[in-house]
Amino acid sequence: MKKDFIFTSESVTEGHPDKLCDLISDAIVDHFLQRNPLSLIIAECAVSTSIIFIAARFVSDVIADFPNIARQVIHQIGYEQHAFNGKTCSIVTSLKEMFRDECRCFDERTLSDEEIERIPVKNQATVFGFACNQTPAFIPLPIWLAHRLSRKLTSARLQRTLPYLEPDGKTQVGIEYRNRNPFRIHSITVVASQKRPEDPTLQKLERDIREAVIEPVFRDEPIKPDKRTRIFVNPDGPLIVGGPSVHSGLTGRKNAIDTYGEYARHSGAALSGKDPTRIDRVGAYAARYAAKNVVAAGIADECEVQISYTIGLSRPVSIQVETFGTGKIPDDEIAGLVERHFDFRLAGIIKQFNLRHLPSLVRGGFYKKLAAYGHVGRMDMGLPWELTDKANLLKRI
């Protein structure tokens, strides 16, 4: 296993077409669960120039205006381009109401442990959770910094510090590692769309981005850019307009950005656009919860938890743990602790994290807020799978 290497992760703003699709899909999930927490809904979205396509399957008594939900999201993100905006874009829907499945229509809050045991998963999946001690959020430093830059790029636009910016933007951070520990900032890239080619010039854009985005983000970071750090701002020239007018988007196409920035493995399944009965979504949250508690307990510096599910069974068919040589005890012993102290059954995960009711408890919806800047490593939302409440339990073993 390599000890010295350079690793790069990227993030995108909520105006990126793929993230726009994730936001619309999760806004639909929030809409259904806010009105009936027992709703079942899967919503997928595709976007291109002046058009949005929404495909949804659901079991619910909720009445939903899918085009209106999409238009609200577009407006909130800030798209007001002539070629793409919430008022004039065309929206095509393909909607199907499914038959009620008694195995999925349950209220987990009323279930006994024996009843939870009898509720199987309805789709097969292998999910991954990862944690490391590189950042306060227990996620790898490259994706942590890339997300921070993307957030700052968005806030500079919304607060009109840089009023010429458009919603679409990308960031990328490369970290040089020594002995698997972050050593220095190798490279920083910020790609920002702007309203007109002459406003500002590329030279002014680079100066503005450095002053309003890059410098504030690294001001309090323990590792800062040095004289050898390569910094790129729109290296391919001015990016005008951006967004769906330039490139298409699709729900679930930014899995690495949603998780660990490719530093660790992730499932190929989309996280956004699914209600909590989908194990490929909530299983990833449960795996992250276990991995983070292992690292917080101090029994490993890095931990990946892999969980595999098979249709028709309530419990995983396998639970694997990899600590990449950083474990203080053998990996198979950590796997035993994880299996003993964490509930990976579908109804158990939903019940513990209160996943069906969070959209009603969080102002402005819950799942939509996860759609941009990561489903894990968030320190701004109080996510239940980000708690380290079982770390002390693991320490005592």
How far is residue 27's CA from residue 193's CA, in Å, rounded to a whole number? 25
**At a CB cut-off of 8 Å and minimum separation 6, what does 390 contact?**
293, 297, 341, 342
pLDDT confidence of residue 82 = 83
Among candidate residues 137, 203, 162, the one with its CA nearest the CA of residue 387: 137
**Cβ atoms of residues 306 and 363 within 8 Å:** no
Round to the nearest angstrom and report the end-to-end CA distance of the chain.
Answer: 29
pTM of the prediction?
0.96
- Strand segments (E) across the chain: 5-12, 40-48, 51-59, 90-97, 125-132, 165-178, 181-194, 230-233, 239-240, 249-250, 302-309, 318-322
Written as six digits, the tokens of 221 are 């970071």
Per-residue pLDDT in tens (0 to 9) along the chain, 397 residues: 688 999 999 999 999 999 999 999 999 999 999 999 999 999 999 999 889 999 999 999 999 999 999 999 999 999 988 889 999 999 999 999 987 765 567 889 999 999 999 999 999 999 999 999 999 999 999 999 999 999 999 999 999 999 999 999 999 999 999 999 999 999 999 999 887 766 788 899 999 999 999 999 999 999 999 999 999 999 987 766 678 988 899 999 999 999 999 999 999 899 999 999 999 999 999 999 999 999 999 999 999 999 999 999 999 999 999 999 999 999 999 999 999 999 999 999 999 999 999 999 999 999 999 999 999 999 999 999 999 999 999 986 5
pLDDT confidence of residue 396 = 61
What number of CA atoms fall less than 13 Å from residue 166's CA on the CB side? Answer: 30
Written as six digits, the tokens of 116 are 């939870």
State CA 246 to chain mean position distance.
24
**β-strand partners of 232:** 189
pLDDT confidence of residue 83 = 83
What structural domains and CATH numbers belong to the chain? 125-134+256-270+278-395 (3.30.300.10), 141-245 (3.30.300.10)
The dihedral built from the CA positions of residue 311, 316, 317 and 320, taken in this order, carries a sign that is: positive
b/e burial code for range 167-184 (CB count within 10 A of at least 16 → b): bbbbbbbbbbbeebebeb
Cis peptide upstream of residue 200 (ω within 30 degrees of 0): yes
How far is residue 194's CA from residue 180's CA, in Å, rounded to a whole number? 38
Among candidate residues 394, 379, 215, 217, the one with its CA nearest the CA of residue 291: 394
pLDDT confidence of residue 115 = 93
